[in-house]
Structure 1
Amino acid sequence: MTEEWKEPYIEQHEAEDALYTRLHRQTREEIQRLSGKVWTDYNAHDPGVTLADVADYALTELDYKLGFPLADYLTEENGTLDLRRSGLFPPEEVYTTHPVTEEDYRRLFLASIPRLAGVTVTADRETGGYTVRILPSPFEEEGERKALEEQVRKVFHSHRNLCEYLEKVETASLKELEFRADLEIEAGEDADDVLARLYMEILEYLYRFPVFSTPDKEGEETPPSEWLEGQTGTVRVAFPEQQDTEHELYGRLCRVKGVRSFKTCYLTLDGKPQNDFSGGFGLHIPEEEPDLEYNPYKEKKDKELKVHIRQGKQNVQVDTGRFRTRLETLYRIREHRLEHKVNNSAKAAGWTQPAGTYQDVYSHYPIANDFPACYLLSKDGKAATPFEAYLKLYDRVIEGGLRELKELPQVLSLSDEDAGNLSDRRTRELKRQYLDLLDRLYGVDSNPAWLAEHNRYGETEEGTLRRRMRFLRNVPVLLRDRNKARDITDTDSLTGNDTPTVKRWFCLLLGITPDDGRAVSNVLSAHNLLITEKRDGRPFRDIDSLLIHERMLEADNVEKVDYMELASDEKEKQREYGRMWHELHLLNENRISGDLFRGGTDLDNYRVVRCGREEYLLAYHNREHPGWTNLGRSADKERLKILANILRRFLRELNRACETLYIVEPVLADRSRPFQVFAVLPAWTARFHSPRFREECRRLLRSLLPAHIGGTVYWLGERDMRMFERCYRQWIYSLTDARIGEYRKLLLDAMLEAMETAVEKQDLDDTY
């Protein structure tokens, strides 16, 4: 017998291969090289050798601390490992997709509503309308069938794609077949149970019950990318391949537990045996008991059981009520099993999930403490010797590395609360590199170059990182639900997060609040301001404090305004705004020129102008039209510079608050407008006023929309936007509330009327 040897628990390494040995050898070689190979009579106790020993031990310990898996460093002290925080999402959030085809919707309904016996989905390819026909179980009452129809509506609208709508949901009515048979059952079997199992087998065959698979076992061998491909969830819904013939069904019935043999066995329609079931049939479930004396030639009632059962030589009486109860129990057990499988599919996933163990490796023991006592190093807080000061350089390097290691979870975090110290340049650079990595990992661009080119609101490096972090936190949903539209059955859709994914992507990328719960036309009204734009035939000087270009505007009398740090506290910031309103009288006219509203976001457009011996003006240099505008007057020029900084910040906030995107699907109110969307945006902000920026926005929207959807981008002025938003909110409510559904078309026409006078219209058709 061959003797088996067990490997030692700790793998032994050769001494020459140990890290410390290699470090010590390399250290001596480096010292020899630096000394010109003249230091040859060293002893083990020489200070240089001792220092090398201690430093090599410290490096060996550091190597140990840096040798744990990455997951350990991301694990919190309480043992929690949240990889979502670092933008590393589980497979079921990354690889799943939104339903697109009729078959996708069919599988979705069956997985979401296990009580459905079957469902067919038909799409009108000309209009995008869907008709859903459901097949409830034979045991559902009329009220329960209505509830199933409502569930189907809810599931459809929560997964609806852009420009799709639900035409109708109806309960299918199938022709019912009667089961006629003369059979013998095994001894000791209960006739009611056997008959219930036979009927359940027939129901499964006729209804083609789907097979639900979860990744609990199969997923151990199947990669998640393969298992979840084309799926809306972790549950796979497959339909059995069958011939739909009498012969195939007969073979399955013969294998039912308790059946010994059949004398006769067939399914009839109007008394005629059927051998092809591909047309779709239901099954009649009898309600009355048969006569004990079997007579195949005797005419029987429609509700009577037409199955004769023998056990040996004895005829067996079937309790129809008990049989129906057993059959319904079998059916409900199947439903509950499916429901349990669906609800626990994510928990049962067999894919290996990363696990981490918290490692307390971030403290450092000063290397000076490892020296022998003969070195007489200072203790108890005494003044350090020059040698000790030299040793602290080693400590500083090691402590710095461990500090960076401890901050790694913050550097990799996408959360605003624990993103790390983004005011630190090195932290910002590491964070930027990690966000670039996530961009490549998910195939997105969270910071396109054209956004940086149009940085009209002074977004800092920190601000850019936070905007990108917010976008990447949402990237699984943005990718999975890219074509998803608004849930028009959600009564809180205006105030919640249920906005079309195209809008969420656009707004998160641009740093805009993505919900529809705010009206941008109210932003200026809330400050009692009205934008005035210069138009032909309207004297600009009548609505603006335009300065005549005279000597006081010459270079000798004009000073630039430099950037100043303002209050970061919200309460103090509002106080600054209050003083600005009080001191800059131009704002008290309740009107602001579009030029100032947009150009005032740039500090380079402000100047302090000397207009007298001790008098100064705060002037704004118009960018869209010639001339200068007087914003205010003071004897304190420094105060005017502060006011310019405050005004600049105030206008940046207003511009940002005025930006949004509305996605309108006209087909929801007008079936003659299929596969079109209207993208509506404000035209009066600093970024959205730029023709080049508008074109980039159009390109972005075109890239986000499916290829079969076209439409128009409308850039509205403030007055038109006010009318549009008033109608838009009512239109959304009309889609949700059937009581005002008759006004949908009227509200759509009113929105179109406001959009007709848009500042600019852009075609969304794929022409580039």
Structure 2
Amino acid sequence: MKETISIPKNIRTKNDLDYEYLREIGVDYIEKIGSKLWTDYNVHDPGITILEMLSYAITDLSQRIEMPIENLLASKNNNMAKMHEQFLSAIHILPTKPVTALDYRNLFIHIDGVKNAWIKQHEEFIHVNCKEHPAQLSYTPFDENQTFPAPFKLKGLNDVIIDLEEEVEDPTTIISLVKDIYNQNRNLCEDVVDVSIVEEHPIAICAYIDLDPGADEEYILALIYQAIDLYFSPTVNFYSLQQMFDKGYTTDQIFEGPIPFSSGCVPLESNKGGFIDKEELIKADLRKDVRLSDIIQLIMNIEGVHVIKDISISNCGETLGLEGAWNICIKDWHKPVRCDKSTFNFTKGLLPIGINKEKVATHLAKLKAQEKAKYEDVEIEDVAMPLGKYMAPESYTTIQNDFPDAYGISPFGLPGNAKKPRKAKANQLKAYLLFFDQVLANYFQHLSKVKDLLSVDEHLKKLYVDNVILTEAEELKNRQTYYAQKVEDVTDIKMIVGDYSNYESDLLGIINDLHEEKTGKEVFYERRNQLLDHLISRFAERFGDYAFMMKLIYGDNDIANDEILRAKLSFLQNYKEISCARGLGFNYCNPESNLNDNGIWDTVNISGVQQRIAKLLGIVDHSRRDLASEFLEVYEELDDDGVTEYRWRIKNESQVLLSSSKHYHSLEDAFKELFLAYHYAKNPDNYDFKLTEDGTQTYFNLINPDINDPENEDWIIARRIAFTDTKEEGVAARDALIALIKEVTADEGMYIIEHILLRPDKNNLDQFDVEDPSGLEPDASPENFMPVCIDADCKSCSPFDPYSFRVSIILPGWTKRFGNKDFRRFAEQLIREELPAHVLAKVCWIGHPLGLVPDEENDMLHLQTKYKSFLEQLHCDTSIGSKSDIENYRATLNELIEAMNKANTIYQTGRLHDCDNDDTEETGNKIILGRTNIGNL
């Protein structure tokens, strides 16, 4: 029976979309609060008229709230671009850099000229000598008869084997390209040793086949060749996005792993094809054996083949006959190919058939061209972004225009002969209704700002990420989370509100003043953190622990709040790269940098895990650079009594920007004040302008905003001698100072040193003195290897292998946050959570700022110098030009290993906490006996 469509009689929703319901509950409310004064609730009553107008306006607001979310997020101009700014499309958020061997195969097959690719573990053994103390390591055995301990194999070293397409003319170029792409996408603690073309294992096939009378024997043979070639070496097919959906894959399954895309996670120039079915890729592995039964089935499936009279297979070079093997094992990491000794003889009934080899070749070429043409036009596509229609949700017209003309508040106004008392009443009603108008208009404006609130907008970026100086008015506007708009179509509104020029700013002030228990800034921090937490949670990330640590270290003040917002913003703005490359190592093979030419130092060419950890720890500058720098300096001075005191200063490359206003008796206090000043100096509100005693010049001090008493000696925390003739010039000098301070990078940062890259070279110093160096064994001495903790009886206190899947993470131990033991515990836990599960990390907090200790005693200065020299010597090209190149590399490697071994973690002084005395409960390094550990192994 056909279903009939009808309009339901009862359309009540009893919510904010139901006009009758809103009017009904409005009347009920009036009855409860005003029944003693107001008893007439009929439609002619002006109060009921006002209620009806408000009810109708609320339904308008509710209908806009119920619009599809894509309409609320739509922009008036450049909607497509704006939507992509708000949301990361599938191809920009779901793919990752390659992790597994299957991922690397997927990536390499997209390279033009590569038919298939495989990853195998490189065989590299290191021998151990326990007779010496400390134990020694070497590539060669220490004793010809040594059996214990057995040599260990380095893990994380890979060889890439590729199968080239037939039309490739220059294999060397393809090999070089594969090596470059591997290094661009190298996993942390892994490395490629060799890229080679797959070796062939020829298989001879001898067959006698009877064909149908009408079959084309040359075409049949071409089909047999094609079927056998695909059986020996399967082709990996490419599919369009729609084809992958048709195969039953979901979006997250399609975009899993490395998807090469020009502006995506894994950019690849001139990549071929579309998406690869991972199930097909698994089946396209190198074949382990060739079965005669499979070949028989392939041939019998070809239309035109009547019967196979006889068939055999054998290794090429063996005697061919009809008594070959049923199964042939293929050599490891070889691919089977048709031997040129293979023979196929055809008959039709009792009549032997001759074969024209040229026609067979022509047919085979056409078949291959047809197979390749299927995928030539297939490309990788992104999932279409759902685009809404811009509906101008902020547009609002006053409800006063909808009142009957008798009220005299419409644009037509009152009659010309209306008396002043009548006009006054009309204006009073306008003013009364303007309150409701304004509330509704603000709600509509809020609705239009949904797309701004749910995005990492440029205003916040300027506040917390970009180094820009904003005026006080700009900062207030950028801190908005409440919005208002003028009601502009009320007749004679200027007469009602008075000063119309400050109307909008007055509205914002009123909105902020509604929160009596909190200041406008506190409301901003609370609401903005909630919105950013929502955005972060979309990616299943969290910043709760980090926010707690900032409050613990800095207290509940603007410094902590600003640092929390800045860290969240920076994390969100970089999430595309952070998510994609979270397990990536840096590209030491062909480094690129925007900051200098060599790409080794002062560069963002770092590992993906380092960038991610830096953002989660709130480190401003995650680049590889000097961590023991001259910008933030603490130094010693002797007072008149010979007591050592400390002072600090903030410098750039040419001048002292700020210096401490007093001496400090402890290093901890000096550091504490230095980093507070570094943060306070970025806020223009923290500068106090003064006149010189003669009143002719102006200068300023940096003050502590948490201290209200100007007589307190801690109120002024820093000075800069910069006199100006007027306060305006002083303000300009202050803004210039803030700009310079923001350019100074704090000493927070890290080095992640991958031990696998510290393995000695495989060269021999005599290789330049002999004609054939291939027989020479590597002669790197035990001194070139990292030390290993092994007892004399070869029972180790740690794994034998100091290289495989191990990293050293070096951080400066003197900064305010990094010196705090609670923050260190938080950071070490986060580091171990974010590193790949199979990577073991050693975390060290080392060094001192420059000038505090002699340079030769500064572990960080020593290590950063040696690490930089090592990276300059590290090359992916294994070709060595001379003996001196080998010697220089080994010397540099030895110096870095020595610097790493001598580095000691430093600890700031702590305060013993008395559990029975609340006065010792304060922020800082509290030490509780029996419960406090200074570190862990």
Pairing of 1:192-271 with structure 2 (within 5 A)? 192-210=218-236, 216-217=242-243, 219=245, 224=250, 227=253, 231-233=257-259, 235-238=276-279, 239-240=282-283, 244-269=290-315, 270-271=318-319
C-alpha deviation, 1:219, in angstroms? 3.3
- For structure 2, the residue ranges without an aligned partner over 5 or more in a row are 124-151, 260-274, 415-422, 463-476, 483-523, 594-598, 664-669, 705-712, 761-785, 787-801, 908-934
Question: Equivalent residue for 1:746?
Answer: 891
- For structure 1, the residue ranges without an aligned partner over 5 or more in a row are 287-302, 547-572, 587-592
C-alpha deviation, 1:478, in angstroms? 2.9
Question: Equivalent residue for 2:155?
Answer: 128
Residues of 1 paired with 2:741 and 2:815: CA distance? Answer: 9
Question: Equivalent residue for 1:408?
Answer: 450
**Is the CA contact (8 Å cut-off) linking 2:239 and 2:375 kept in structure 1?**
no
Question: Equivalent residue for 2:830?
Answer: 700
**Is the CA contact (8 Å cut-off) linking 2:812 and 2:818 kept in structure 1?**
yes
Question: Equivalent residue for 2:139?
Answer: none
Residues 705-751 of structure 1, C-alpha deviation per residue, up to 9 Å, x if partnerless? Answer: 23332334252334454454444344334334636774444333333
Residues 185-220 of structure 1, C-alpha deviation per residue, up to 9 Å, x if partnerless? Answer: 456655443322211211221224456666534536
Given candidates 527, 537, 543, the residue that maps to 1:446 is 543
Question: Equivalent residue for 1:365?
Answer: 397
Residues of 2 paired with 1:724 and 1:333: CA distance? Answer: 60
C-alpha deviation, 1:176, in angstroms? 0.4
C-alpha deviation, 1:358, in angstroms? 1.8
Pairing of 1:370-409 with structure 2 (within 5 A)? 370-377=402-409, 379=411, 385-409=427-451
Residues of 2 paired with 1:212 and 1:635: CA distance? Answer: 71
C-alpha deviation, 1:379, in angstroms? 3.9
**Is the CA contact (8 Å cut-off) linking 2:700 and 2:720 kept in structure 1?**
yes
Alpha carbons of 1:413 and 1:582: their partners in 2 closer, same or farther (altered >3 Å)? Answer: closer
**Is the CA contact (8 Å cut-off) linking 1:603 and 1:644 kept in structure 2?**
no
C-alpha deviation, 1:74, in angstroms? 1.1
Question: Equivalent residue for 1:289?
Answer: none
C-alpha deviation, 1:368, in angstroms? 0.4
2:430 paired with 1:327: no
C-alpha deviation, 1:44, in angstroms? 2.4
C-alpha deviation, 1:69, in angstroms? 1.4
User: What letter matches 1:367 in structure 2?
Assistant: I
Secondary structure, aligned partner of 1:454: helix
Residues of 1 paired with 2:865 and 2:362: CA distance? Answer: 57
**Is the CA contact (8 Å cut-off) linking 2:749 and 2:812 kept in structure 1?**
yes
Residues 453-493 of structure 1, C-alpha deviation per residue, up to 9 Å, x if partnerless? Answer: 33499646455324312202333543453221112223315
Given candidates 568, 584, 603, the residue that maps to 1:468 is 568
User: What letter matches 2:445 in structure 1?
Assistant: R
C-alpha deviation, 1:656, in angstroms? 3.8
Alpha carbons of 1:109 and 1:634: their partners in 2 closer, same or farther (altered >3 Å)? Answer: closer
Question: Equivalent residue for 1:178?
Answer: 204
**Is the CA contact (8 Å cut-off) linking 2:481 and 2:528 kept in structure 1?**
no
User: What letter matches 2:479 in structure 1?
Assistant: S
Pairing of 1:493-642 with structure 2 (within 5 A)? 494=599, 497-514=604-621, 516=623, 518-521=625-628, 524=631, 531-532=634-635, 597-598=674-675, 600-601=677-678
Residues of 1 paired with 2:375 and 2:722: CA distance? Answer: 77
Given candidates 656, 680, 689, the residue that maps to 2:810 is 680
Residues of 2 paired with 1:760 and 1:440: CA distance? Answer: 35
Question: Equivalent residue for 2:841?
Answer: 710
Pairing of 1:476-487 with structure 2 (within 5 A)? 476-487=576-587
C-alpha deviation, 1:363, in angstroms? 0.7
Residues of 1 paired with 2:245 and 2:722: CA distance? Answer: 74
Residues of 2 paired with 1:30 and 1:680: CA distance? Answer: 67
User: What letter matches 2:433 in structure 1?
Assistant: L
Residues of 1 paired with 2:110 and 2:680: CA distance? Answer: 58
Q: Give the number of aligned pairs.
A: 694
Residues of 2 paired with 1:715 and 1:54: CA distance? Answer: 70
**Is the CA contact (8 Å cut-off) linking 2:105 and 2:116 kept in structure 1?**
no
**Is the CA contact (8 Å cut-off) linking 1:600 and 1:648 kept in structure 2?**
no
C-alpha deviation, 1:59, in angstroms? 1.5
Alpha carbons of 1:690 and 1:111: their partners in 2 closer, same or farther (altered >3 Å)? Answer: same
Alpha carbons of 1:305 and 1:469: their partners in 2 closer, same or farther (altered >3 Å)? Answer: same
C-alpha deviation, 1:5, in angstroms? 5.1
Given candidates 271, 276, 286, the residue that maps to 2:327 is 276
TM-score, structure 2 normalization: 0.63
**Is the CA contact (8 Å cut-off) linking 1:71 and 1:356 kept in structure 2?**
yes
Question: Equivalent residue for 2:870?
Answer: 731
Question: Equivalent residue for 2:534?
Answer: 437
Residues of 2 paired with 1:149 and 1:579: CA distance? Answer: 53
C-alpha deviation, 1:279, in angstroms? 2.6
**Is the CA contact (8 Å cut-off) linking 2:588 and 2:876 kept in structure 1?**
no
TM-score, structure 1 normalization: 0.75
Question: 1 or 2, which has the higher helix percentage?
Answer: 1
Kindly, what percent of the aligned residue pairs are identical?
19
Residues 298-323 of structure 1, C-alpha deviation per residue, up to 9 Å, x if partnerless? Answer: xxxxx466222446776555443553
Residues of 1 paired with 2:180 and 2:80: CA distance? Answer: 36
Residues of 1 paired with 2:660 and 2:718: CA distance? Answer: 13
Question: Equivalent residue for 1:560?
Answer: none
Residues of 1 paired with 2:164 and 2:348: CA distance? Answer: 31
Residues of 1 paired with 2:30 and 2:559: CA distance? Answer: 51
Alpha carbons of 1:613 and 1:754: their partners in 2 closer, same or farther (altered >3 Å)? Answer: farther
C-alpha deviation, 1:61, in angstroms? 1.6
Residues of 2 paired with 1:354 and 1:669: CA distance? Answer: 49
Residues of 2 paired with 1:362 and 1:165: CA distance? Answer: 56
User: What letter matches 1:431 in structure 2?
Assistant: R
**Is the CA contact (8 Å cut-off) linking 1:512 and 1:660 kept in structure 2?**
yes
More deviation, 599-608/186-195: 599-608
Question: Equivalent residue for 2:750?
Answer: 661
**Is the CA contact (8 Å cut-off) linking 1:478 and 1:501 kept in structure 2?**
yes
Secondary structure, aligned partner of 1:147: helix
Question: Equivalent residue for 1:549?
Answer: none
Secondary structure, aligned partner of 1:487: coil
2:2 paired with 1:7: no
**Is the CA contact (8 Å cut-off) linking 2:637 and 2:645 kept in structure 1?**
no
C-alpha deviation, 1:119, in angstroms? 2.6
Question: Equivalent residue for 2:46?
Answer: 47
C-alpha deviation, 1:366, in angstroms? 0.5
Alpha carbons of 1:760 and 1:396: their partners in 2 closer, same or farther (altered >3 Å)? Answer: same
User: What letter matches 1:59 in structure 2?
Assistant: I
